[in-house]
Each structure stands twice: as C-alpha cells, then as structure tokens.
Amino acid sequence: MEYSPAYEEAKRLARDGSEPERAALAALTDTRPELLYFLAGDDAASVRKAVAGNAAAPAQADGLLAGDADPAVRARLGRKLAPRAAALAAAQDRLGRIGWEALCRLAEDAAIRVRAVLAEELKAMPDAPHGLILQLARDAAMEVAEPVIHLSPLLSEADLLALAEAPPVPETLSAIARRPALSEAISDALVASANEAAIGALLGNESAAIRESTLDGLILQAATRLPWQERLVRRPALSPRAQRALALCVAGHLLEPLAARSDLAPGLARRLQARLEARLAETPEGPSEARLFEAAGLEGDLPRMARLLATQATVPLRMVEQAARLRSAKALVSLCWQAGFDMRCALLAQTVLGQVPPGAALLPAEDGDWPLSSTEMLWQIELLADPLTA
C-alpha cells in the first residue's frame, strides 16, 4: 500500500516530533486512526489528552485511554463519550461495545472529577441510559450525584423515593430536597428521614409540594430550628393554621418578614405588629421569666424549663414533670396560662418539654386567644394536683 508524503510526515511526527507537534497531530480529526491509536500510548499526557478529546479517535484508542494513569486524560475522554451515551448503550457492533465499556469504566472511575464530568454532561440529557443515570445519582460524591438528582428528567418518582428511603450518604437527601417540583410523596419521604439539613432544604424549595398536615408538623418542630424558620417565613403559600403556628415559633428578627406577608389574616397581622412594637420597646433590664423559659426551650434544657414553669405557675415541680411525662398538651398549655406565659412559651412547653407530637399540639384560637377556656385550664391543673393521677 502506498502512502502519501503527508501521511509519511504524520508518521514521522507521531514517532519523533516534539511534544507540541505530537499533541497538535493528536488533535486533528483527519489524522489516520492507526496514528491516533499509536499516540494514545504516548508518554506525554498532553498528547494522550488530545487523543481523548478527538472525535475521530478509534474506539480502540478510547478503550485504552479509559484506563489512562492521568485523571485529566480520562476526564477529557468522558466529556467526549458522554454525549454519545444513548447510541453507545444501544450499539450492537464490536466498536460500539468497546466505546460503551469505556464509558462504563469512567462512570466507576476512582477520581471524582472524572465521574463529575460524566454527570455534568448527562444531567439534562433526555435519552441517556437510565441505568447510568441511576448509578451517578447513587454516587457518594455530591459533585457527581447532585447535578443528576437535580436535573435529570429520567429519574422517576419511584427512583427518587428509593433514593430517599435508602440514601447512599445523608447529603443525598438534601440533593433530592432541592430538586424542582417535588411531589407530596417525595416530600413526605424526606420529612420521614428526620434529616434536619434535608428538611431545611425542602422548606427552602418553593416549588416542592408539601402536604398541609406535614407542613403544620414542621412548623411546630421549627420552634428550636432557626434555619427552618428562615425558610418558612418565605414560603409562598401557608394556610391560616400554619401562619398562626409560625407566628408563635419564629425568632424575633424574623417577625418583620413574616408580618410583611401579603396573605396574612388581618387579626394575625395586627398581633404580629404588636409583638414587633413590644420587641422594639424592650428595656435592657434583663429578660422576663417567660423569655428565660423560651431561651431554655431553644437550648433544649428540659430541667430548667420544668423548674421555671413550676415556679411561675406556683405548683410543685412534680406536677410539671407529670404533665410532660403524660405528653399532655392541655395540661402543659394550662400550666403556661397559670404561669402568665404567652402562647409562644406554651408551644415550646408542648413540643420541647412535653415532646407532644406535632399533630396533637394545641395552637391559639383564630383570634389569638388561648385554645382552652379558663375553666378547662383550671380543671386541667386540678387534675395534675390530684395524687391519683400521678
């Protein structure tokens, strides 16, 4: 077989050229396949990297470079092969299978940067192989998993639920929580995980659908979780009950953004404004007993909460401990009423001191008043005082 002078020159450069000359030859799409395969074994990483990025490189060269010692070379190869993933996965010929095997090797590469390149290329591809997308979504490195979890249209609700129920790492849950347009079922699974960071991310995801009952429970739990409060006050839609609960649990510096919501009921807006004005009028004489109780609740100091409540309600400590042990929302609210505390303290007494489940906690009436009549609250305290109930 006769070769042109140009081919003979290319052979000479491939064998004896300088590194820049070999790299330039390796990058040309009209370089003959056998020369590109030869250059795939070059000592210089820059030359092998040029071959890895060359669309004209033969499958055999790609197969060789998938095991290259330099992760930069493997990453360049991944960037080239990923857009061909659908065709390679479906290929029946030998060369197509070599390319698919090379891509699969890169998806399992020890270097995170190599796997991350694949994830970046495949994250929004509508026809990427489903199995490959699932593999990347299950990656323990968030640089790899998060782009795919966040954007891939191939991840079904069943896929996401499976990931939420058995996350490879805790950070997987937060990545799911940030995905646009989550369903109520997926939101429920994230809440069931009890992962605080993931729930915080979910609350910050304005496009996530969250059941009203689930959101109510999270608001009650948010009393001791400032990051959750910061996201809740900015959620686009809150039911009247959720608004009332949030008004009780938010920290002082979040009162203003909450009061600025356009969807607040008039009565609640007035109460928030009054609380804002009272906060501005506070004197530096020291916190009241109610604020000390609130601080103990935010710190999770249950013994101090119990002592403060017993002292202010002028009841034996055993009565407070009994109400907490019974997880009695009515009894704890009644003790706070007798202590002269407000409903914010009553919420902390229920959710922190009494560990009352969110669905069983008592919120103020729509007019902001106590949820029980004074007669019923006095009766609850009498029940606690009865030694037969201890």
Confidence band of 114 (pLDDT split at 50, 70, 90) = very high
- Mean pLDDT over 150-177 rounds to 97
Cα–Cα distance measured from residue 145 to residue 51, given in angstroms and rounded to the nearest whole number? 28
Confidence band of 109 (pLDDT split at 50, 70, 90) = very high
3-state secondary structure of 261: coil
Q: By CB neighbour count within 10 A (0-12 exposed, 13-18 middle, 19+ buried), where does 129 fall?
A: buried
Quote the pLDDT of residue 2: 45
The model's pTM? 0.80
- Mean pLDDT over 360-370 rounds to 84
The answer, yes or no, to whether residue 260 has pLDDT greater than 80, is: yes
Which range of residues forms the domain containing residue 379?
289-389
The answer, yes or no, to whether residue 101 has pLDDT greater than 50, is: yes
Q: Which residues lie closer than 8 Å to 389 by C-beta, 6 or more apart? A: 322, 383
Shortest CA distance to 105 belongs to which of 118, 124, 92, 123?
118
Confidence band of 390 (pLDDT split at 50, 70, 90) = very low
SS3 annotation, 17-86: CCHHHHHHHHHCCCCCHHHHHHHCCCCCHHHHHHHHCCCCCCHHHHHHHCCCCCHHHHHHHHHHHHHHHH
H or E element at residue 217: helix 212-221
Q: Specify if 128 maps to a domain.
A: no
Question: Which letter does DSSP use for residue 16 in this model?
Answer: H
Q: How far is CA 163 from CA 13, 158, 341, in A?
A: 52, 9, 44
Q: Specify if 50 maps to a domain.
A: no
Confidence band of 1 (pLDDT split at 50, 70, 90) = very low
Q: Point out the least confidently predicted range of 89-103, 157-171, 252-266.
A: 252-266
The answer, yes or no, to whether residue 285 has pLDDT greater than 60, is: no
Quote the pLDDT of residue 277: 74
Neighbouring CB atoms inside 10 A of 141's CB total 16
Confidence band of 241 (pLDDT split at 50, 70, 90) = confident
Residue pLDDT, tens place only, 63-83: 999 999 999 999 999 999 999
Assess contact for 182 and 207: CB atoms under 8 A. yes
Task: Give the residue, 389 or 4, on which the prediction is more confident.
Answer: 4
Q: Which amino acid is at 114?
A: V
- Percent of the chain topping pLDDT 70: 95
Please count the structural domains in the chain: 1
Which contacts of 255-260 are long-range, i.e. CB under 8 A and separated by 24 or more positions?
A: 255/279, 257/233, 258/233
- Percent of the chain topping pLDDT 90: 72
Cα–Cα distance measured from residue 223 to residue 203, given in angstroms and rounded to the nearest whole number? 14
Q: Specify if 368 maps to a domain.
A: yes
The answer, yes or no, to whether residue 388 has pLDDT greater than 80, is: no
Q: Specify if 19 maps to a domain.
A: no
Q: Specify if 359 maps to a domain.
A: yes
- The token pair at 65 is 């470079």
Q: Specify if 71 maps to a domain.
A: no
- Mean pLDDT over 252-281 rounds to 80
Quote the pLDDT of residue 4: 65
Quote the pLDDT of residue 224: 83
Across all residues in the chain, what is the average pLDDT? Answer: 91
Shortest CA distance to 349 belongs to which of 313, 374, 388, 314?
313
Q: Specify if 299 maps to a domain.
A: yes
Cα–Cα distance measured from residue 275 to residue 355, given in angstroms and rounded to the nearest whole number? 26
Q: Which amino acid is at 61?
A: A
Q: Specify if 255 maps to a domain.
A: no
Residue pLDDT, tens place only, 293-330: 988 988 889 999 999 999 999 999 999 999 999 999 99
Confidence band of 267 (pLDDT split at 50, 70, 90) = confident
Cα–Cα distance measured from residue 21 to residue 303, given in angstroms and rounded to the nearest whole number? 77
Quote the pLDDT of residue 177: 98
Q: Which residues lie closer than 8 Å to 200 by C-beta, 6 or more apart? A: 225, 227, 228, 231
